[in-house]
Structure 1
Amino acid sequence: MEDSVAANRTPSERTPLIQRVGGGGGGSDKQDPDEEKPQMKESSGGEEQHEHYSNIERFDDANEEEDDDDDDDGDDDDEDDYYDGTEVFESLKEIDSERRLRRESLAADRLSMRLLAIDDNDVELEDQILKETLNLDLSPDEAFAEYDLSRRRSQIEIQKTTRKASGRFCTMTGLCILAFGVIIAALWIGAEFIGPPNQPVGPYELIERQEGDEFFEYYTFYQGPDSVGSNGYIDYVSEDRAKTIAIANITHETDELDVFYRGRRGLSNVVDALGKSSAKKEPFLYLKTAPTDAGPRESIRLEGKRRFNRGLFIIDVRHMPAGCGTWPAFWLTDEANWPVNGEIDIVEGVNFQAEAKTALHTTKGCEMSDVPLGTMTGSWDTAVGIPDKKTGIPDMTFREAKNCFVYDPHQWLNQGCVAIDTNGGSLGVDLNAKGGGIFALEWDPVNRHIRTWVFTPHNTVPENLVMAIRSASEPVVADRVMPNPEEWPLPYGYFPIGDQTNCEGTKFKNMRLVLNTALCGSVAGNRFFLDCKNESKSFKTCNEYIRGRPDALDEAYWKIRGVYVYQREWRKAWLSK
């Protein structure tokens, strides 16, 4: 019906609505019949835009029918019944915009689903889908759709970023746990296999067993007069000369300590029908002196071939030189760099001295003023009566000899820091009467100390030390017992060295063992009138006494079972202790 009515209308009757809808005519009520109908510009909507024009035409037909009704009523004024088609068109545009927004929103939802399905690392596929789906050249009317798409895309990016961050957090947490485990494993491995450099922290192991015929392999015989500093009244001879005149020889005897050791091991000493013990004979080293026509006696000075910077040094002495004029010593030094590299006297006796002493000699800057309480059983030597350098008047102030500096003005020249075994009877004549003893010195820079012991008689030697000495000759290392000073009684001398002490550990380095017997000289000779009062009545000097009483030196000899040197195993571990 509407279509037939619209078809029967004349062009002039349809003009007003067309003009107002199309925007032409400038408000005129008439139009040339030959003039073409204004064309609406098609939007990118396609078929949807065509549908919009159809709706407009239907509204036009409806208006024409109303106009016919008005004409029938006799109303000739078209201006009063004119319907404003512009408002209708604007309303349709709004409807069109809402539809487009809904379509864009639906497309955005679909795009979001497609993007979420893409792998996080597949950037190329993501870009391709975005390019195919999004129309970046949007018209102003589509600004809201663009905003909505941007918002949704931002949400997608936030979701993806959150997923990635969560994944990274889990990954980092796992890596941290793994790293912690690796660190713990590295510490354990380092404790067992790597360890810090230059840190001997394991148990002691035997590096030198100086016994019997092998004893001299570890030393060289110094030949010549005594040093200027000692100035002893002797001449040191070569190995050949010493053996020729029988002042250096090896004997084999039953060892009292070996019997004690065998008893500890559960072994028995079988006595045969003749009453002789079947105990093994052990080698003993004898070092003596011999008179000469020229006056100075011939003696022996053994200088070690190996240099040390640490170690545990043990000497088993059965007899040592003693008596007026004697000055025996077993010590560590570096003569070429004395006193820069230090000196440690392990065993040293002067004349009738009866107490074991250990002395340290260094350059300036080494004092024993910070010895911890309860670390030693002995005491310190004294320095009293030192003459004043300017006036020469003796200083009677009582001082302990704790300064190791050889030129300390308040101590005797080269006195050093000296620890004394206060038990007494541990040196010289008294020691020999007990059958000797064992001296031990531990030089341990890692644990920052030097410690010294003396055990006499032999039945007072700690079991661990007895087992270590007697098992040193075992060919199988596993059968040997290693010494452990922590199982021994407290030392009589304790010298703190190294970091956080008043004596740098570098004051002692590159030293070698020396075993010698000097006579008189700068120490024993200077004390001749103090220590040898009866002898000094008949002889003016110590040297005259040596020349005039050769028979008095029958006791001036060493009898040594062995020297044993240990160093801590280089087990490169922090936690081995």
Structure 2
Amino acid sequence: MVHLLRAVLPSLLVAIVNGATYSLSDNIVGSDFLSTFTHQAIADPTHGRVNYLSQADALAKNITYANGNTFIMRADDTTVLSASGPGRNAVRIQSNAQYTTHVVVTWPAAWEVGDNWPNNGEVDIVEGVNGVAPNAATLHTSSGCTMPSSTTQTGITTGTDCNAADNGNAGCGVQCNKANSFAAGFNGAGGGWYAMERTNSAIKVWFWSRTDSTVPSDVKNGASTVNTSNWGTPFADFPNTNCNMTSHFGPNNIVINLTFCGDWAGNVFTSQGCGSDCVSFVNENPSAFTQAYWDFASLAVYQ
């Protein structure tokens, strides 16, 4: 999940995997997001200090904006909130389409989740709170899914038990080895690309900064085909060694959201040096959320 995160996303590409090479089959640009994603005006499942708006309300309040090759979703940055009223206006959108075996190439991504959580799994591609780098990729599942402590990856394993019922739903995570993979370092570099490949044998996540000379050409140029076998070692590798991917992961939707405080960010707000009370901070400091937004140019589907 993403909390207190500014991210600029020139492109979001989703690929349905039939092998190592995938071809472009669809492209979603600007206002197309309004018909291919649903604004979820729901209570935040992570109990954040947020008020998710419907599409009509988000458009009317300019919390969502779509035009040409631009789709933006942001947080309210002008309103001082009443302690007894609803949370800060923001947006949570979910793709109408669901994906099983697939690849996602984004600048950057958010997360994916299935119905009947956690039984169909959750894959967090960009996950962090309170501006603390680096990024972490994390899986959350039902019981019976664990990861090895050592595998072929460049990142650092921070948890091996994927069961959402254990360890306060910490999941099995891998911390990226690049400081500019999240928050100020990510923004300062002008963004970057995330890629996630999900098959029945493994889930893998890659990251390249915009200034990285090793960005694969098919990723960098939004090519008509992509080939994951040329992408090198991922920063996160979740193999099926002790986790049956087909039973722990079903069809997943892409979810992109902004939320504040809640189960994770709120609990570590003080320990990360952000202040004494996350909810009060969100209520009283609207200008702190001026840079809390997502900006997409396109979403392309590969098969």
TM-score class, shorter-chain normalisation, is 0.7 to 0.9
Are the counterparts in 1 of residues 134 and 179 from structure 2 also a CA contact under 8 Å?
A: yes
Do structure 1's residue 491 and structure 2's residue 234 form an aligned pair?
Answer: yes
| Larger Rg belongs to | 1
* TM-score normalised by structure 2 residue count: 0.86
Q: What is the match of residue 378 of structure 1?
A: 155
- 464 and 200 in structure 1: CA distance in 2 versus 1, 3 angstrom threshold: closer
Aligned residue identity for 2:220: V
Distance 1:370 1:459 in 2: 28
Check if 1:555 corresponds to 2:296: no
- CA shift at 1:218, angstroms? 1.5
**Alpha-carbon distance in 1 for matches of 2:289, 2:273:** 14
Deviations 1:258-281 (A, max 9, x none): xxxxxxxxxxxxxxxxxxxxxxxx
Cα distance change on mapping 1:200 and 1:463 into 2, 3 Å: closer
Which structure carries more strand by proportion?
Answer: 2
Residues 1:331 and 2:89 are matched in the alignment: no
Query: Which residue identity does 1:554 align to in structure 2?
Result: T
- The reply on whether 1:522 has 2:263 as its aligned counterpart is yes
Gaps of 5+ in 1: 1-198, 253-282, 318-328, 382-400, 472-479, 568-577
Instruction: Report the RMSD for the aligned CA atoms in angstroms.
Output: 2.0
The question of whether the paired residues in 2 share the 8 Å contact of 1:231 and 1:522 is answered with yes
Alignment of 1:467-506 (within 5 A): 467=221, 469=222, 471=223, 480=224, 482-497=225-240, 501-505=241-245, 506=247
Distance in 1, matches of 2:40 and 2:144, equals 32
Separation (CA, whole Å) in 1 of partners of 2:20 and 2:155:
28
2:234 maps to 1:457: no
> Counterpart of 1:243?
59
User: Contact conserved, 1:286 with 1:560, CA < 8 A, in 2?
Assistant: yes
Q: Against the structure 1 CA distance between its residues 463 and 200, is the aligned structure 2 distance closer, same or farther, given a 3 Å change threshold?
A: closer
Of structures 1 and 2, the one with the larger relative CO (CA 8 A, separation 6+) is 2
Distance change (3 Å), C-alpha of 1:251 and 1:349: farther
**1-structure distance, mates of 2:180, 2:243:** 30
On the 8 A contact 1:438/1:458 being kept in 2, the answer is no
Question: SS at the partner of 2:259?
Answer: strand
Cα deviations by residue, 1:379-413 (Å, 9 ceiling, x for unpaired):
111xxxxxxxxxxxxxxxxxxx11111233xxx31
Q: Match for 1:287 among 73, 80, 83?
A: 73
Q: Residues 523 and 380 of structure 1: is their aligned pair in 2 closer, same or farther, counting only changes over 3 Å?
A: same
Matched, 1:510 2:251: yes
Return the structure number with greater helix share: 1
Q: Secondary structure at the match of 2:97?
A: coil
> Which amino acid in the other structure matches residue 216 of structure 2?
P
- Confirm or deny that 1:403 pairs with 2:189: no
Q: Secondary structure at the residue paired with 1:525?
A: helix
Structure 2, gaps ≥5 residues long: 1-16
Q: CA deviation at 1:237?
A: 0.7
State which drifts further: 548-557 or 204-213.
204-213
Structure 1 length-normalised TM: 0.46
Q: Distance in 2 between matches of 1:202 and 1:555?
A: 37
CA contact (8 A) 2:131 2:183 kept: yes
User: Any residues of structure 2 matched to 1:342-357 within 5 Å, and which?
Assistant: 342-357=121-136
How much has 1:504 moved relative to structure 2? 0.3
**How many angstroms apart in 2 are the aligned matches of 1:349 and 1:211?**
27
Equivalent residue letter for 2:34: F
Q: In structure 2, what is the equivalent of residue 44 of structure 1?
A: none
Secondary structure of the residue aligned to 2:190 is coil
